[in-house]
Amino acid sequence: MVQYNPKTWLSLIFHSYSKFVVKTMLPVLIFMGVFTTGVCLVMLEYFEFNKSHFSNTTALHSLLGIVLGLFLVFRTNSAYDRWWEGRKLWGSMVNSTRNFALKLSAYLPKDDHEGHNWFAQMIPNFVIATKEHLRQGVQLSELEAAEPGFPESLKEYKHKPNRISAMLYCRVNDLYKAGKLTGDQFRVLDKEMKDFVDIVGACERIKNTPIPYSYSMFIKKFIFIYIITLPFGFVTSFEYVTIPTTLLITFVLISVELIAEEIEDPFGRDMNDLPTDQLADRIKENVREILL
């Protein structure tokens, strides 16, 4: 995720991310530039159309632009809702891990160094496994060996966060059976562990439920039809100024759609995705500070 100052206009206008967007859109912009130039040459030079023959050819695109703008607003709002919900879930992850660690620190005997160390490693393991589970899969090398053979034992499990959560449940249950936790303390810790699983499930819902296919398909069709017909609507009014005008409108419309595509899945590694790596590191530091 990009760290920036929203009050610095110039740095935002000329940020390197703008260059990345232009680079991504360059094939489309080149195509539209060539296509628009061809339309202008054919209509202005070959057919010799002029403003006196067609005085109001932009009216249709003006009306369609309003409808398309409403579609894009809904599209970006839907994508941002997914991004913001993901951020709230990871905020809950930060709070739940802190609460879990604080309660364990208070409940566990001070001389139980092995128990403190185990939880200080396993709680961050759960967070890291969740972070990578929402991407391309968990890298076992990133996890700490809280007990002998721990990373290797995860290989047979497809859902790594579930397995680590089960291990946390088993460990807390063993502490209860050993008399190191009271029944009330066990129930309090159970609430925090339940929150872990709920957060993972909610994040999976966001990741595995994309924007409906028909909606995504048709908005791309509408954008394509709108920009591909722009030269025909503008050429008789703007003449050769149609070329930069069409390129500008194309850049604006497609860049808005690209932003929506990027933030609708907020758990990846794109520039605008959630800072889950930094949040996982922060949780690891906080949990260790509390338990060790």
Pull the structure tokens for residue 124.
């961050």
- For position 70, what pLDDT does the model report? 86
Distance of CA 230 to the CA centre of its chain: 32
Angle, CA of 148, 152 and 155, to the nearest 5°: 150
What is the amino acid identity at position 179? G
Statement: residue 212 has pLDDT above 70: yes
- For position 71, what pLDDT does the model report? 86
Place of tokens 């703007």: 238
**What DSSP designation does 49 have?**
-
- For position 59, what pLDDT does the model report? 73
Instruction: Round to whole Å and give the CA distance between 262 and 28.
Output: 18
Q: Name the percent of the chain lying above pLDDT 90.
A: 52
Q: Which residues contact 189 (CB under 8 A, 6 or more apart)?
A: 100, 103, 104, 107, 172, 181
Distance between first and last Cα of the chain: 30
pLDDT digits (tens, 9 = 90+) for 91-103: 999 999 999 999 9
pTM: 0.86
pLDDT band at 278 (very low <50, low <70, confident <90, very high): very high
Phi, psi of 269 (to 5 degrees): -115, 15
**What DSSP designation does 43 have?**
I
pLDDT band at 4 (very low <50, low <70, confident <90, very high): low
pLDDT digits (tens, 9 = 90+) for 144-195: 888 888 888 888 889 999 999 999 999 999 999 999 899 999 999 999 899 9
Q: How many helices (H) and strands (E) does the chain have?
A: 10, 0
Q: Determine the angle formed by the axes of helices 16-40 and 213-238, rounding to 10 degrees.
A: 60
Statement: residue 117 has pLDDT above 70: yes
Statement: residue 74 has pLDDT above 80: yes
Distance of CA 17 to the CA centre of its chain: 16
- For position 235, what pLDDT does the model report? 84
